[in-house]
Amino acid sequence: MDRIKTGVPGLDKKLQGGFPLGSSIILIGPPGCGKSTLAQQFIFEGQKDNQSGLITTLDISPEEVLESMKRLGKVNEKTLNFIDAYSWRLGNPHGKYSVSNLANINELNIMMTRVIENMGSSHAKRSVFDSVSTLLLYADPNLVVKMMPVIIAKLNKANFTQIIIMEEGVHDPKTVATMNYLCDGLIEFKMQEDKRLMRIARMKNTKHEMDWIEFDITDKGVKL
């Protein structure tokens, strides 16, 4: 199976070379444990091969994401697209793909269709959705659960490998189980005393261990 590098060499080794190409992966864990950092590394890794990236940002502005990514190296903004689902909260939605109200989940779906069409049909593209937990706070949870498989399928058809971020402890077990069912892999994060840990709970077509792996967050991101 074709693999797509995660941006973390140690994690690639655990995954037989990386995420399965075209897969959708959930990262779940408490705030501040490194999920968004790993997701940004995933997008940045694709830039080395001129792979287009899409970040749907709901928790911070695209500008903040860009500044965070620049610590990894030079960012090619021509191959990086944002759906800005954050700035509307400040009464200042701006940019080419901006959502005016996150409670209207259909607007987000339409915006996703538009950006996918404009990005073209290259073989390998990367997407990060950060985070579905914020969407569940603002929009009707039942509609979100119904819409996420549509968005996932839409990105999959357009040759995206996807990361979807969820916060631990803010959803009912049924919602988490549904999202897990919809996706191809699950990586769990936790904080234990002063340690950050992750484990590969599930990954399609991949032989992997399920032990907890300690990692650090350095100036260059997640390092196993």
pLDDT in tens, 162-192: 999 999 988 889 999 999 999 999 999 999 9
Phi-psi region of 151 (alpha: psi -120 to 50; beta: other; left: phi over 0): alpha
Q: Determine contact, residues 144/135, Cβ cutoff 8 Å.
A: yes
Distances (CA, A) of 142 to 47, 112, 168, 174: 35, 19, 19, 11
Mean pLDDT of 38-48: 96
Mean pLDDT of 114-121: 90
Q: Tell me what pLDDT residue 152 has.
A: 96
Q: Determine contact, residues 132/179, Cβ cutoff 8 Å.
A: yes
Q: Determine contact, residues 9/143, Cβ cutoff 8 Å.
A: no
Domains along the sequence of the chain with CATH:
3-223 (3.40.50.300)
DSSP state of 98: B
According to DSSP, the β-strands at 185-192 and 160-167 are: unpaired
